Amino acid sequence: MADTIVELTHANIYQGNSLILQDVNIRVHKGEFVYLVGKTGSGKSSLLKTLYGDLKLKEGEGMVVGHKLRDMDWKKIPFLRRNLGIVFQDFQLLTDRNVHDNLKFVLRATGWKDEKLIEEKIHDVLDKVGLKTKGFKFPFELSGGEQQRVDVARALLNSPKLILADEPTGNLDPETSDEIMQLLFHISRDYGTAIVMATHDYRVIGKFPARTMRTEKGRVIDNAAINI
């Protein structure tokens, strides 16, 4: 199906030689928002790392934004990641440069050369996340919520079909968490970007309900019932 962004079929996911998740069968479509929940160590991060090529898929089949995961090698991973956005819990912004130059660094690293287009794209993504006047600020001058918005802006730079968010509200207070969730749902709904978000924040799931997958006992349970 043309609108299938993620598809894993009978996939076994390993960390080294250790089988973490077995017989994973999931599908995520364009514009869909999916939570990924589960206890620490149950395989959430391993699943995300497999989707963005950090862990090799050895058994089963996987397709992410049109790329076959079984075919991934160090030469092909950059092409996969140009169609992905990754949002981290700890922001991972470059502290020695301002917001504008953090974003410019990523664009240059992914092959952008035209200065005019670079400037237009930076303005566009900062506008989308509500930070169009903050490009000159350094990360240490921003609140935690603003830093997370920069992280989301960075994930949007290459107009990804999929955003993988790993505990994006984990370091934020409830009010700021709600703002980030509203932003992510807006991106999913208005730009057709599929989002898979790993989280322990059941308050957020209760307030912003969506399809939920749970890692448990070496399996991925789709549409899992969550006790909030």
Q: What is the pLDDT of residues 77-95, one digit of tens each?
A: 888 888 899 998 777 899 9
Q: Are residues 54 and 95 in the same domain?
A: no
- Both 22 and 134 in one domain: the answer is no
52 CB neighbour count, 10 Å cutoff:
19
Residues 65 and 25 in one domain: yes
Do residue 94 and residue 75 come from a single domain?
Answer: no
Q: Do you know the residue count of the chain?
A: 228
Are residues 170 and 223 part of one domain?
Answer: yes
Torsion sign across C-alpha atoms 118, 123, 126, 129: negative
Q: 70 and 4, same structural domain? A: yes
State how many domains the chain has: 2
What is d(CA 63, CA 148) in angstroms, rounded to the nearest whole number?
A: 28
Last residue of a domain, one of 129, 159, 189: 159
Same domain, 75 and 171: yes
Q: What is the CA radius of gyration of the chain?
A: 17
The confidence band for 2, taking pLDDT boundaries of 50, 70 and 90, is: low
pLDDT tens figures, 110-147: 889 999 999 999 999 999 999 999 999 999 999 999 99
Residue 228 confidence (pLDDT): 43
Based on the domain organization, do 131 and 67 belong to the same domain? Answer: no
Q: What is the structure's pLDDT at 90?
A: 77
Question: 3-state SS of the chain: helix, strand, coil percent to 5?
Answer: 35, 25, 35
Q: Domain containing 198 — which CATH number? A: 3.40.50.300
Of 205, 85, 213, nearest to 152 by C-alpha is 85
Query: Is 176 found in the same domain as 118?
Result: no
Report which residue type is found at 219.
R
Which stretch of DSSP H or E encloses residue 11?
strand 4-15
Q: Which two tokens stand for residue 106?
A: 């990523």
| Structural domain that includes position 140 | 87-159
Nearest Cα neighbor of 26 from 45, 7, 5 is: 7
pLDDT band at 150 (very low <50, low <70, confident <90, very high): very high
Residues 64 and 170 in one domain: yes
Q: Are residues 2 and 67 in the same domain?
A: yes
Domain boundary among the residues 101, 125, 159 is at: 159
**pLDDT over 80 at 1, yes or no:** no
Within this chain, do residues 77 and 178 fall inside the same structural domain, yes or no? yes
CA gap 180, 19 in Å, rounded: 34
pTM, to two decimals: 0.90
What angle is formed at CA 143 by the lines to CA 120 and CA 123, rounded to 5 degrees?
Answer: 5
Of 141, 159, 177, which marks where a domain is finished? 159
